[in-house]
Structure 1
Amino acid sequence: MSQLMITARLLYRQGLYGLMAILGLTVGLTVALFAMIYAWQETHYDSHIPNAERLHLVDVRIAWPDRAVRVLATTPGALASAVKAANPDIEAAVRVWRQYSTINLPDAEDFSDIIAAADPAFADLVDLQMMSGDRSLIRDPSQVLLSTTMAERVFGHRDAVGQTVRIDEQDMTVAGIFKPWPTTSHISFDVLMNGQAALVRGRETVDSDWTSTRPTFTYLLLREGADATMLARRVEEIFLARYQTREPVPGGKPLDDVVDISLQAVADLHLNGKNYPWLNPPADTLKLAVFTAISVLIVAIACINHINMSTARSIERAREVAVRKLMGAERRHLVLQFLLEAALLAGGAFLLALVAVEVLADRAGTLLLTDLDLSVMAEPGFIAWTSALMTAVVLAAGAYPAWLASAYRPGRILSVHGQGRSRHSRMRTVLVVFQFSVSIVLATGAAVIWNQLIYARGADLGFEADNVILLYGVRRSPAFTIELTSRIDRAISGRPGIVSVSGTHSSPSWDYVAEADIRRATEAPEDRFTIGQVSVDLDFFDTLGIEPVAGRVFSEAYGADRGQWDLETRDTLNLPVVINERAARALGFQNSAAAVGEMLQFTVSSNYDRAAEIVGVVPDVHFESFKKIIQPMVYFPDPASFNLMMVRIDPTMREEAMQSIRNGWAEVLAGQAISSDFLSTALIEGYEAEAQELRTVTVLAILGIVIATFGQYGLAAYSAQSRRREISIRKVLGARVGDIVALFIWQFSKPVFAAMLVAWPVAFVATRLWLETFAYRVAINPLWFILAGLAALTVALATMAGHALKAARTHPVEALRYE
């Protein structure tokens, strides 16, 4: 207890130095706690599901020759029952389906949302947490379960259980209300119903489906001790024996050469790096590793502050150590004393950090694009993480100062009256260099990310994205899609504020392009190559403002173009296609004009293999993000495969145009809520990951500089205090205020200049590796590195300027009157 009281008094007497150290540690520990919460959530996904280690999702990898490899979690609907019947090691097999549906509200505007349908056992398998009602009632196809979020949206604050909700014009009875899925789950939906419910599309054929035509997720619960790898082979054998491909494998290869089945444990699903459609995205392991590493460096900077200020004051503490040794204190007692000081300092900083975490949790979650669940801090494992962190901080911040101060010899210290400068200034300089090196690397990284983001957002994409609205939810069967999109086109076109309307299979904001095989008609089949393909309406190029460089684009004026809207007769016509300039070169044409009028063999699938005529060539546009090289592209009219509509509006009549779209949509799809987005907004959102990286690195760079500034401030204050006599003597000998200030500037500039030399090569390598993830990127500019270094230098000099001026203006007599 006496040691504790002495420690508390000593910390209180430290004043400014103690305040700077505790503030630095508080900031560092706050960042560390956020990093730990984020890392805990990312590494403990789906931990709320019982037996998550035994519950597996069937994973399908398809490596079609000359096509991009696809990894899916969707399987044929008949797979679950087949593998369950053939394998006793499977305890349960359930299926889950997803689809977009419209929630019909009597007194408000309808809206679209993802609903899930499942085999009845699914709710028990994932231990669906109910707030009210009974999850077993999902066995009734007329019953539905809603999340608390959906129930409040539909029914407000009324009790929803027993009420009727209308979905896709079908009345369903609410059987229960379940808790929203945790943010740490690969699953997220607000509506759950039986897979045999009337509104579930394809329910009639799902039990016999071996073509994987709908998003069917197959979950297998393995028995204790079952070998997942061996079981995956058995599942693959069943899959390969019964799977019905829509087209033969090119080259006559067997199916097992292109299809690979694996079982992914739900507990490991988030960290396997696979981005499955319809499921929450996997962990960004690179972001997790980088954020964790930077957080460790921030904590290290904070610990260095304490070390620097402790060693800077070592002469002052040396008298204390000498006297205590003369009084009989052993070195181990002194080491314990200094470690106890570091522990109390870290403990105070930790309490402040906990308050900061509570206050800043929402903002940190926004920065990291996730919801941070602070309740994980009560988990035993997380407490162990925290204990290890605090132990590391105490040892890192206190071990070296404790060893240094306890090593002083009383006779030597007392004989020179404690005068002189610390012999360990070189170590302090090295640590200051490290602090500012980290800050400069982070500041340079922020500058590079910012410039790449500005470049990507402002670059010419090759088309006009402004004032184009995307309308989703128009895909049906081929014939119905043609009829539906044509009716929507006619219903919206010609209304106030509408410039043009077009349908398409894909949007540039999706960062995805389907692929097909193509070759010149005069070439052999083996000379075909893979090309990106997009089916478009006749007004597509006009809507996006894309002008041909040779030939023409599609138009109502040409019978072959119009004829593609007739499913029965279009196969008798040549398919008109428009290619981009890269495709023209890939096909071997000397120039774009030479390609016009040439014939191609265009193979989308076995039932869509058409003779095609090139009617035009357009520029290479960025139909995918800047991370991907523009590929050869072919555009062709195929209204049977449209997924969305594009509407260009008059920007001077925006309100009228939006109302025109709503009215036209309601005429055709009165029971389906409109789902829309601006193309320009969707494109910007495509770079949200880079924007989030920019925000995170910028904040961490600022915090790193701030923490380093705390250390500089304390060192400058101590330097000014300890050099009062030196400065006074210089002034007596004729030094001016400017000379003294220059002396301080040079002293505190040298570590920052050294930090620049250390940081710049590291920053160059790191930013170059990051930029290499983009096919189209900015060139590295040396000015970014210089500005980051100058920013650190400016902050360092501004921090010590006040102390330098105060020391320089002090009258010599105040320091020398007792000499």
Structure 2
Amino acid sequence: MIKNYFKIAFRTLLNHKAFSFINIIGLAIGMTAFFLIFLYIKFELSYDSFHSKADRIYRVVSDIKTPTETINANCPSWAVASHAKQEFPEIESFVRVSNARLLVRKGNIKFQEENSLFADSSFFQVFDFKLLKGNPQTALKEKFSIILSQTAAKKYFGDTNPVGQTLSLTDRNLNAVVTGLMQDIPENSQIKADVLLSMPTLTNEFNKGLDDQWGNYGNRTYLLLRPGTEPKVLEAKFPAFLERRNGKEMKQSQMYPTLFLEPLREVYLYSTRDGSKTGNITNVYIFIIVAVFILLIACFNFVNLTTARSAERAKEVGIRKVVGAARLQLAKQFIGESIIICLIAFAVSILFSSLLLPLFNQLSGKVISRHIFSHLLYPFLLFLIAISIGILAGIYPALILSSFQPIVVLKGRFTTGTKGLLMRKGLVIIQFTVSIALIISTIIVYNQMNYMRSQDLGFNKDHKLIIDTDGDSSKSAFKQAITSLAGVTSTAMAGSVPGGGNAGAYSQIENVKGDMQVANLDLYFVDFDYIPQYKLKILAGRAFSRDFQTDTSQAMIVNEAAMKMFGYTLPKQIIGKKFDQWGRKGVIVGVVKDFHFRSLQEVIKPLSIRIEPNFCNLVSININSKNIPSTIAAIENKWKELMPNRPFSYYFLDDFFDKQYRSEDRFGRLFLNFAVFAIFISCLGLLGLASYSTTQRTKEIGIRKVMGASVPNILNLLSKEFLKLVTLAFFVAAPIAWYFMHKWLQNFAYHTTINWWVFVAAGFCALAIALATISFQAIKAALANPVKSLRTE
């Protein structure tokens, strides 16, 4: 019996190749989209899950309250971890990691290691990063101990064992001993590094006394709590701990930190701390919804397409019933055919997924999976989903087809009920509701990206080449040497550029009441050429000038946001007011118009700007666009002449600044691709319903043509019903899309408005797509010879 079912199923598929192809491709595309989104979601949710102690690891963060604001920091002060470990038995261990940018050399091989960290010796005890060679207990214990990833080790030592070898660090040629070789850190880790340098190198050599500094922030701290420890109970003990250890300094500085514990597994997707928002749980939820709806659309298509063919198989069912087939047997046969189609679609979707995975990795900006069988459970789940779709999606047409009355269908008077027609129309409405909502959402996402890129940033970022000298002693000479090069129009030096990190500084500024008000201000260190080169607009006072000798030590410029923070309403009111910042005292000499020195996702914060040559390591070079390669080559020659021990590298400021929106760009591209998938599958469903409708109305169309109806008349007759369904879907989709995209836009401090034309454009787009889909079947029916459809009457 089962063998017979298979024979009938395959014969049916082969006898209706076009129908079978559309049905299988629709299901395959739906399952492919679902599977790829599933891989993406699983990857996003898997961050840091590979650590065996992940449920006991917590990141320490701080809310620092000042008289002016509350700073939400993603770290505690340097002294917190070691002192808390001494005081609280609930803490089994701790790890601090701090970003490093190291010049590493081995003979003539030299790299500026951007992806490197200082780390405590407990790094491999708390985390499950795999150390392939070396002792995990002692590898980071001594000063100038260095651990390399497999990728980094290959650069310096090829395939030889690096442990015990020596590398030179910084331009001071400090010798570091390689004490370990670690496996490359997985992609789904927040902590990423190719080079680890022991923490004592930083705290006992580069910055002595750092372990006891309570007002210095800049390290990420992780605590491993003992089993059974309740983090909220430990959190409640921190205020008294800070008061005992640092109460006097807190009162003097008027900065009062509160410590919190964030579960390691939640940091990536849920934390909103400055510098930590790399993932986005909202986007994950959005993709879950999209995946489910695409799969549902594919299922709806199956029902519509199969039902559209029910009239063609009515006589087959009638004959089978006459010769003794029971309704249950017929239902099994049709459900079996449904499962076979789904299994074929499953095989095709596996092929599609395998072919599209590299492109999907590229679109998502990360390697979510090397190949689709990296986790065998995932394809097996897709297999189970295919079987379930086959059963669930096949039940309705199986019941309808097996319920036909043989005497009716064999006389050629088969018609379907109103309920079935309403259900099919409802499915089309649901499909196009999802599709139109995705079209609207895609337009809004791209509008937001364009809005951010077209905003007046308040500074000039065009044709700027940025080179990091890393504090090399020849940096000033290098700047002077390249100023006269052909193609170089101006140069400047600073500690920060827009879009890059900048320091936060404990400051006291004279406010509108005449009091010295405490605040934590963002701080830019610049030289005299920075403000004119970036075309920052001076609203009051003046820019820094070499004509004023005191500008190098006693002058500060603030932005509008800082001016308002201290109670002033007009820029000129703050000119001449006193400041005290990091040991420097003086007066404010100018106010610059607010500019976006951070991402447009953040509001412009109060900023202070000072002349400080020792901290100006970034050289900004304005170049003309006529012969960029030769200009860069000339700059590189000067670099090699003056700083031969450092590798030459650069980036363009506009590219660097735009990187801030890379995650939104990827989100938009993924959204667009899945919207196209959904629309395509919906069109297949519409094609199925149009096919069904024209089959049902074949004789009506023939009579109308005999009576003189033209092709446009027939096209209008068959199209208007479906266009009504798409229009109804639009009115359902529009408010849903507006609600969710309005919430999504709230993630941006500066965002576009949702204009009415977005909905009009999406509606016309959906109607055009639907009309193009329907027209194919309608024109085919309108051009058919009426004699063929009427000859049985």
- Unmatched segments (≥5 aa) in structure 1: 476-480, 565-569
How has the CA–CA distance of structure 1 residues 661 and 586 changed in structure 2, closer, same or farther, with 3 Å as cutoff? same
Structure-1 separation of matches of 2:130 and 2:508:
52
Structure 2: stretches of 5+ with no match in the other structure: none
Aligned match of 1:601: 578
**Deviation string, structure 1 residues 763-794 (Cα, Å, up to 9, x no partner):** 33333333344444334333332222222222
The CA distance in 1 between the partners of 2:56 and 2:744, in whole Å, is 37
> Structure 1 residues 702-711 or 371-380, which shifts more?
371-380
In the TM superposition, what is the alpha-carbon distance from 1:17 to its structure 2 partner? 2.5
Distance 1:88 1:541 in 2: 52
1:612 aligns with 2:587: yes
* 1:804 equivalent in alignment to 2:784: no
Q: How do residues 681-692 of structure 1 correspond to structure 2 at under 5 angstroms?
A: 681-692=655-666
Q: Please name the residue that 2:761 is paired with.
A: 787
Deviation at 1:578, TM superposition (A): 5.2
Instruction: Tell me the SS of whatever aligns to 1:116.
Output: strand
Amino acid in structure 1 at the alignment position of 2:530: F
Does the 8 Å contact 1:312/1:422 carry over to 2? no
Deviations 1:673-700 (A, max 9, x none): 4553211111222221222122112111
Deviations 1:140-166 (A, max 9, x none): 656533222112223345554554433
CA distance in structure 1 between the partners assigned to 2:394 and 2:512 by the alignment: 79
Kept in 2, the 8 Å contact 1:472–1:676? The answer is: yes
Q: 2:60 aligns with which of 58, 61, 65?
A: 58
Change (3 A) 1:446 1:111: same
Q: Distance in 2 between matches of 1:216 and 1:622?
A: 26
CA separation in 2, counterparts of 1:332 and 1:603? Answer: 88
Q: Would you say 1:270 and 2:268 are equivalent positions?
A: yes
TM-score for both structures, normalised by structure 2: 0.88
Q: Name the aligned partner's letter for residue 225 of structure 2.
A: L
Residue 224 of structure 2 aligns to a residue in which SS?
strand
Shift of 1:290: 0.7
Paired positions, count: 788
Q: CA deviation at 1:27?
A: 1.0
How far did 1:704 drift? 1.2
> Is 2:397 the partner of 1:397?
no
2:772 equivalent to 1:814: no
Instruction: Give 1:601 deviation, angstroms.
Output: 3.4
Matched with 1:314 is 310
Q: CA deviation at 1:102?
A: 1.0
Distance 1:65 1:337, change over 3 A: farther
Q: Distance in 2 between matches of 1:577 and 1:198?
A: 32
Output the CA distance in 2 between the equivalents of 1:746 and 1:24: 25
Residue 311 of structure 2: SS of its match in structure 1? helix
Relative distance call for 1:460 and 1:725 in structure 2 (3 A) is: same
SS at match of 2:550: helix
Letter in 2 for 1:114: N
Q: What are the residue-to-residue correspondences of 1:498-513 with 2, within 5 Å?
A: 498-510=488-500
Shift of 1:30: 0.9
| CA-atom RMSD in angstroms | 3.7
Q: Distance in 2 between matches of 1:396 and 1:68?
A: 55
Tell me the equivalent position of 1:205.
209
C-alpha deviation, 1:649, in angstroms:
2.8
**Residues 1:242 and 2:236 are matched in the alignment:** no
How far has the Cα of 1:50 moved from its partner?
Answer: 2.5
Provide, for residues 615-671 of structure 1, a one-character-per-residue CA deviation record: whole Å limited to 9, x for no partner.
x44433333333344456543434455463423234345345434544555566554
**Of residues 535, 543, 547 in structure 2, which corresponds to 1:553?**
543
Q: Which residue, out of 189, 192, 203, partners 1:188?
A: 192
Select which of 171, 177, 181 maps to 1:177: 181
Kindly indicate whether the alpha-carbon contact (under 8 Å) linking 2:113 and 2:195 is maintained by their aligned counterparts in 1.
no
Using a 3 Å threshold, how does the CA distance of structure 1 residues 273 and 590 change in structure 2: closer, same or farther? closer
**3-state DSSP of counterpart to 1:687:** helix
C-alpha contact 2:235 2:259 (8 A) present in aligned 1: no
Residue aligned with 2:621, SS: strand
> 2:739 is aligned with what amino acid?
V
Amino acid in structure 1 at the alignment position of 2:587? A
Identify if the C-alpha distance between structure 1 residues 486 and 259 changes in structure 2 by more than 3 Å, giving closer, same or farther.
farther
Percentage identity across aligned positions? 27
**Judging changes above 3 Å, is the alpha-carbon distance between structure 1 residues 445 and 167 closer, same or farther for their aligned structure 2 residues?**
same
Q: CA deviation at 1:556?
A: 0.8
Task: Name 1:42's counterpart in structure 2.
Answer: 44
Q: Deviations over 1:25-73 (max 9, x none)?
A: 1111111111211121222222322222233443334343433432324
Question: Does the C-alpha gap of structure 1 residues 128 and 469 become closer, same or farther in structure 2, counting only changes over 3 Å?
Answer: same
Q: Which residue of 2 aligns with 1:350?
A: 346
Shift of 1:268: 4.0
Give the TM-score normalised by the residue count of structure 1.
Answer: 0.85
Q: Deviations over 1:113-164 (max 9, x none)?
A: 2323434443344344345566567256565332221122233455545544
For residues 416 and 797 of structure 1, the distance between their equivalents in structure 2, rounded to whole angstroms, comes to 31
Cα distance in 2 between the residues matched to 1:161 and 1:685: 36
Q: 1:221 to 1:110 in 2, by over 3 A?
A: closer
Q: Which amino acid aligns with 2:760?
A: I
Q: How does 1:449-464 map to 2 (within 5 A)?
A: 449-464=445-460
Q: Deviations over 1:344-385 (max 9, x none)?
A: 222222221112222111211222222112568565864685
- Aligned to 2:348, the other structure's residue is in SS state helix
Report the secondary structure of 2:741's partner residue. helix
The residue aligned with 1:567 is: none
Q: Which position in structure 2 is the counterpart of 1:71?
A: 73
Paired position in structure 2 for 1:359: 355
Of 531, 534, 557, 1:577 maps to 557
Q: Is 1:301 the equivalent of 2:297?
A: yes
Query: Which amino acid counterpart does residue 804 of structure 1 have in structure 2?
Result: A
Cα displacement (A) at 1:416 = 5.6
Any idea what the Cα deviations from partners look like across 1:449-498, whole Å, max 9, x if unmatched? 222322322333222211222333646xxxxx9x8765554454444443
Query: Structure 2 residue aligned with 1:289, among 285, 292, 299?
Result: 285
Distance apart, 1:300 and its partner CA: 1.3
